[in-house]
């Protein structure tokens, strides 16, 4: 086996292993399920907020206060009612 073949095999194996790693962008996206809460306030959102938070799951009958709605809009959060 010459050097070029060895390098090709190493690169091929490295490529295979890298494809198996999780996507870092997907990994950063965080969802939070707070469907048990009846009311979502801005103060509550401030306590649970983190930079990697993208989506919040809430109950169908959950009430979002106006200030909480502003917070959600300002920070670009997604709300999913479940």
Q: Domain extents for the chain? A: 23-81
Cα–Cα distance list, 78 to 31, 32, 43, 62, 73 (Å): 9, 10, 17, 15, 8
Structure confidence at residue 62 as a pLDDT band (50, 70, 90)? very high
Residue 11 has pLDDT above 70, yes or no: yes
3-state SS, residue 74: helix
How many CB atoms sit inside 10 A of residue 22's CB? 7
Average pLDDT over residues 40-61: 90
Report the percentage of the chain scoring pLDDT > 90: 46
Average pLDDT estimate for 25-31? 64
């Amino acid at each position: 086996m010459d050097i070029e073949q060895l390098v090709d095999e190493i690169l091929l194996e490295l490529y295979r292993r890298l494809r198996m790693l999780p996507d870092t962008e997907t990994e950063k996206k965080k969802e939070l399920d707070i469907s048990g809460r009846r009311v979502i306030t801005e103060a509550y959102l401030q306590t649970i907020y983190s930079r990697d938070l993208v989506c919040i799951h809430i109950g169908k009958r959950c009430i979002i206060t106006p200030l909480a709605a502003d917070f959600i809009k300002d920070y670009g959060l997604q709300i999913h009612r479940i």
